[in-house]
Amino acid sequence: MESSRKPIMVNLILSATLLNMASAETLVVFDRPAVKFYESSPLGNGRLGAMVFGDPANGRIVLNESSVWSGGPQDSDREDAHKALPQIQKFLLAGENKKAQELLQKNFLAKGPGSSYGASKDGPFGCYQQFGVLNFTPANPSFSGYRRVLDLANAVSTTTFQRAGCRWEETTFVSAPDQVVVHRLTADKPGQISGEFQLSRDENARTEARGDALVLTGQLKSGTTSPGVKFGGLAKVINKGGSVDSSGNTIKVHGADEVTVIFSAGTDMFGSKFMDEASRRVAQAHKKPIGDLLKRSTTSHRKFYDRCVLTLPKSGNSAGPTVGRMAKNQDVADPGLSELLFNFGRYLMISSSRPDSQLPSNLQGIWAEELLTPWNGDFHININVQMNYWPAEITGLGDCHSPLLKFIQRLVPNGRKTARAYYNADGWVAHVITNPWLFTSPGEGAEWGSTITGGAWLCQHLFDHYAYSGDKKYLEQVYPTLKEAAIFFSQTMIRDPKTGWLVTAPSNSPENAYRDKNGDVLFTCMGPTIDREIVFELWSNVISAAKVLGKDSDLVEKLTAQRNQLSPIQVGKHGQVMEWLEDYDEPEVTHRHVSMLYGLYPGDQISQATPDLYKAARRTLERRGPDGTGWSLAWKVAFYARLGDGEMCAKILQRLLRPTGSTGYNMSNGGGTYANLFGAHPPFQIDSNFGVTAAIAEMLVRREGDTVYLLPALPKAWAASGSVKGLKLRGGITVDINWVNGEVTSHRFLGKGTNRLKVIKPTAK
Ligand code: FUC
């Protein structure tokens, strides 16, 4: 089984790249092996994921494939739910919200178990799961002089250590062009590598060694009568020098100079030939010299990664393991960490959502160690999956947005059924949660399940991709999805007789409770502010799209008239932007969702052009406080960027970068960052990584109409000198900015129509 391939100096290639990159913040550094998942190094190609624990004594790589999902298509619409609708609406119009909520809970939520409150490993909703684990147990487990580096620019993890008088190196990458995970072990003296490889999974799978490959196959539970997802993969163990033999589910290596493992996997979610395909991928990769494999992988990654470059001032604390820097940054600002976090978010997007990925990134991107991943590792659409894609357009990764954009369009047929069953309406609707089985029904709990604007919020992404790219052919293609979402609201919103305003009913303001006039703590309501903001934006986008495409003038007229009748965004008794139609108080003032500020970010209905609301937005944030879960903190950085408050951005960024090891569910204020820079809700949830990357971009540039604000929220700690290249503005414009002492020293726009832009720079303080 000895490989005849020539050894290639991967180490040299890597060292050269590391030297080149020495000045940029592109390295996540560890001085110890990972014990926990959140200390490991994530790698991915938009489908296959690997979490490298880098433990020389007990090698562990958690492997993922983005369609390893249990569950299956679920009949979750209550066909006669619409019969309860008039009565629920009557109760709401009469101010009897408690009765409305009770009736909604009884007759207007998902049929069946829905998402089983986030525990659907074996249920029909299903859950995103680990593929399996590759282990390597070395014959000699001793080691010293440990270092592990995740190189974000090249998408490679390298672990180095000393053992038995040799320098050892483990290199791992996940290639997009070759669709394989490559893991290579070397020592600088021959014959050193001995040990055992295993590929395993705790349930629903079996592994056997076939020749020099470990083959794992299995099938997940569907929770329905239809068959669950079948999955499989293989890890081929290739030795140079020494020998390899196998028994049972183990491959043993004896005295090798070098060992390379090539892994690929798939599922039958998108095609039945996944196992043949995985074997073919491994065989083809095996034919290529490892240097070529690495080069193809990094070249492909850098095509995306190099589009945008941020440089922030360096502090004296930038050396050493990243987690140590995070701790020091709690006392002394280390702006480079924000630069690193920005780069990490872009890295994660390229690694979890490539233009040809079949699924959008989920609550954990594509990385999950569990079989029951928190909240099923699903696609939450009342902020989370949207936040995953906030950085896509602005940081120049608009093509990585496609998996979400395609997915939204795939929701439409089920969304139509749901619209008919619950609202007896045309168009399509999706509520709070969805999955690869395209779930669009309300969730199973009244407290959170009936937010009506999840799908409409997704439509912001469909339109934004056009707004940034100006691609009319694309707009033509997504227009029916936008239009049908708009029609759904056009038909289902009701008029509040007290005010004459059009409002959604029933709905809720994502997951937040209010106290009604009787002191009852409730969720079900009509016309929460976020719905108004989303519907206003959706209708505005459809009106613009129809005009651009020269279509549907009757619809344009209708939506324009209806848009004028929407409830306004109101200011309440605390000076805050009201979250509900009534000026209710919330039992949890610091609740993580700040839904009424959708209009500030990611929307644009609250801006300097609406001074009263702009002021009220600040007041809202003061009441909510500067703490929160990971994603809530990231959102707050974006809000303060829109408010032009760089110091608050810096303060919350610092809070978000607080090192944590907590994995228990904390729904209010546990947000922080794990040793590997993954966001902590806690538990791990990737949205804060993406959200904060977008928020950092918002601190540096904002386009409002034809006015472009350069460095609108630059904190003092970033002022000394810096630059950003390759940020994008709506209208297909690229912007580069250089600054010194907080003043713009030069900027450059590329693209059409830039002469129309009015530029506003920070004034010297
Ligand atoms: C919503 C949020 C939670 C969490 C979950 C995945 O329910 O309110 O904080 O992010 O989604």
What is the percentage of the chain residues whose pLDDT exceeds 90?
Answer: 95
pLDDT tens column, 485-508:
999 999 999 999 999 999 999 999
Whether the CB-CB separation of 242 and 212 falls below 8 Å is answered with no
What confidence category does residue 24 fall into, taking pLDDT thresholds of 50, 70 and 90?
Answer: confident
28 vs 154: CA distance, rounded Å: 12
Task: Provide CB contacts within 8 A for 635, sequence distance 6+.
Answer: 383, 387, 594, 601, 691, 695
Which 8-state DSSP code applies to residue 762? P
Q: What is the 3-state secondary structure (H, E, C) of 658-674?
A: CECCCCCCCCCCCCEEC
How far does residue 190's CA lie from ligand 1's centre (Å)? 52
Model pLDDT, residue 399? 98
Give burial (CB, 10 Å; 0-12/13-18/19+) of 107.
middle
Whether the CB-CB separation of 61 and 183 falls below 8 Å is answered with yes
What value does the mean pLDDT take over residues 428-438? Answer: 98
Q: Look at residues 148, 69, 116, 45 and name the one whose alpha carbon lies nearest to residue 368.
A: 69
DSSP for 565-601, written as a single string: TBPPP-B-TTSSBPSSSS--B-SSTT-S--GGGGGTT
Q: Which atom of ligand 1 is nearest to the CA of 378?
A: 6
613 vs 426: CA distance, rounded Å: 34
What value does the mean pLDDT take over residues 54-73? Answer: 98
How far does residue 510's CA lie from ligand 1's centre (Å)? 9
Q: Which atom of ligand 1 is nearest to the CA of 374?
A: 6
Ligand 1 lining (C-beta closer than 6 Å): 363, 375, 380, 384, 511, 592-593, 629, 631, 667, 681, 685
Model pLDDT, residue 318? 86
Asked if the model's pLDDT at residue 316 lies above 90, the reply is no
pLDDT tens column, 122-135:
999 999 999 999 99
673 vs 337: CA distance, rounded Å: 12
733 vs 705: CA distance, rounded Å: 13
What value does the mean pLDDT take over residues 226-245? Answer: 97
What confidence category does residue 764 fall into, taking pLDDT thresholds of 50, 70 and 90?
Answer: low
Model pLDDT, residue 12? 39
Model pLDDT, residue 763? 84
Model pLDDT, residue 652? 98
pLDDT tens column, 655-696:
999 999 999 999 999 999 999 999 999 999 999 999 999 999
Task: Give the mutation target among 451, 685, 688 for probing the ligand 1 site: most ligand atoms within 8 A of CB.
Answer: 685
pLDDT tens column, 713-732:
999 999 999 999 999 999 99
Beta-bridged to residue 215, according to DSSP, are 208, 234
What value does the mean pLDDT take over residues 158-181? Answer: 98
424 vs 418: CA distance, rounded Å: 9
Q: Which atom of ligand 1 is nearest to the CA of 363?
A: 6
What value does the mean pLDDT take over residues 574-583? Answer: 98
What value does the mean pLDDT take over residues 733-752? Answer: 97
DSSP for 672-700, written as a single string: EE-TTS-EESSSB-THHHHHHHHHHHHHH
Model pLDDT, residue 626? 97
Whether the CB-CB separation of 152 and 26 falls below 8 Å is answered with yes
DSSP for 215-284, written as a single string: EEEEE---SSSSPPPEEEEEEEEEEESSEEEEETTEEEEEEESEEEEEEEEEESTT-TTHHHHHHHHHHH
499 vs 496: CA distance, rounded Å: 6
Whether the CB-CB separation of 231 and 63 falls below 8 Å is answered with no
What value does the mean pLDDT take over residues 585-609? Answer: 98
pLDDT tens column, 30-52:
999 999 999 999 999 999 999 99
Q: Which atom of ligand 1 is nearest to the CA of 687?
A: 10
Model pLDDT, residue 6? 37
Compute the mean pLDDT over every residue in the chain, rounded to the nearest whole number: 96
Whether the CB-CB separation of 122 and 228 falls below 8 Å is answered with no
Beta strands in 41-192 (DSSP E): 41-44, 48-52, 59-65, 132-138, 144-151, 156-163, 166-175, 180-187
What value does the mean pLDDT take over residues 538-551? Answer: 98
Nearest CA to ligand 1 atom 1: 380
Residue recorded with tokens 């890597």: 14
pLDDT tens column, 355-386:
999 999 999 999 999 999 999 999 999 999 99
Task: Provide CB contacts within 8 A for 424, sequence distance 6+.
Answer: 82, 85
Supply the pTM of this predicted model: 0.97
Nearest CA to ligand 1 atom 10: 384
What value does the mean pLDDT take over residues 599-625? Answer: 98
Model pLDDT, residue 2? 37
How far does residue 621's CA lie from ligand 1's centre (Å)? 19
pLDDT tens column, 74-122:
999 999 999 999 999 999 999 999 999 999 999 999 999 999 999 999 9
